[in-house]
Chains A and B, each alone.
Chain A
Amino acid sequence: DAGITQSPRHKVTETGTPVTLRCHQTENHRYMYWYRQDPGHGLRLIHYSYGVKDTDKGEVSDGYSVSRSKTEDFLLTLESATSSQTSVYFCAISAPGTSGSWEQFFGPGTRLTVL
């Protein structure tokens, strides 16, 4: 399971409140990613990180920010949650696969509901 955990696993919050989701990995992977998954849209990249304090935007980054102060933790923050951010959020890491090429592996996900 690539040693990835996400917390919380479920969260219900109200519009306008800040929310932080945590991704924690235990295997010292350099590259980490945040995706959201919505019906009809598949998985879409929000932000990614290529090292401590090195992050960049994905295709759906508006309304989200990230931080990575330690290799093992990648935080996703919704500054002011909106109902359109109701989704399932997955963290992923990139690691060499069995053939030596790079592959992505996913954490268990966080189901976020914004009322």
Chain B
Amino acid sequence: QKEVEQNSGPLSVPEGAIASLNCTYSDRGSQSFFWYRQYSGKSPELIMSIYSNGDKEDGRFTAQLNKASQYVSLLIRDSQPSDSATYLCAVNQYNFGNEKLTFGTGTRLTIIP
């Protein structure tokens, strides 16, 4: 069974610091990787996608992928209170439209002012 593992947290980070969220996956054939942010009572919002080894940066967010270690991470620089949310890691074996994502259970992040 394909699995995606995340530390459930809560992870507490001071405002302005770097928050580091980690995710491991079991299916070595996985091709695409996503990070979603979910505020309490809201739906998941896609914030980062990554498909090849290395780093991908978008504003204060950096996704890192290491397929050999089956590991994907999300770094949030200059953390703000508005970053307090649950972050979901999702993994997909394919990337041609009809993908079926496998989600981790999420890491709850709290930014302390």
Asked if A and B are interacting partners, one says yes
Q: Specify the chain B residue showing the minimal Cβ separation from A98.
A: B49
Determine if B88 and A43 form an interchain contact, defined as CB atoms under 8 angstroms apart.
yes
Chain B interface helix/strand/loop/mixed: loop
Q: If A106-B43, A106-B44 touch, does A42 touch B49 (CB 8 Å cutoff)?
A: no
- B25 at the A interface (CB under 8 A): no
Determine if A94 and B105 form an interchain contact, defined as CB atoms under 8 angstroms apart.
no
Within 8 Å CB of A48, what residues of B?
98, 100
Within 8 Å CB of B96, what residues of A?
102
Determine if B44 and A94 form an interchain contact, defined as CB atoms under 8 angstroms apart.
no
- B32 at the A interface (CB under 8 A): yes
Within 8 Å CB of A42, what residues of B?
88, 103-106
Chain A interface helix/strand/loop/mixed: strand
Determine if B97 and A30 form an interchain contact, defined as CB atoms under 8 angstroms apart.
yes
- A50 at the B interface (CB under 8 A): yes
Chain B contributes a number of interface residues (CB within 8 A of A) equal to 23
- B66 at the A interface (CB under 8 A): no
Residue positions of A touching B, CB distance < 8 A: 30-31, 33, 40-45, 48, 50, 58, 90, 94, 97, 99, 101-109
What are 22 A-B interface contacts by the 8 Å CB criterion? A31-B98, A40-B105, A42-B106, A43-B44, A43-B101, A48-B100, A94-B97, A94-B98, A94-B99, A97-B49, A101-B51, A102-B95, A102-B96, A102-B97, A102-B99, A103-B46, A104-B46, A104-B90, A105-B46, A107-B43, A108-B43, A109-B43
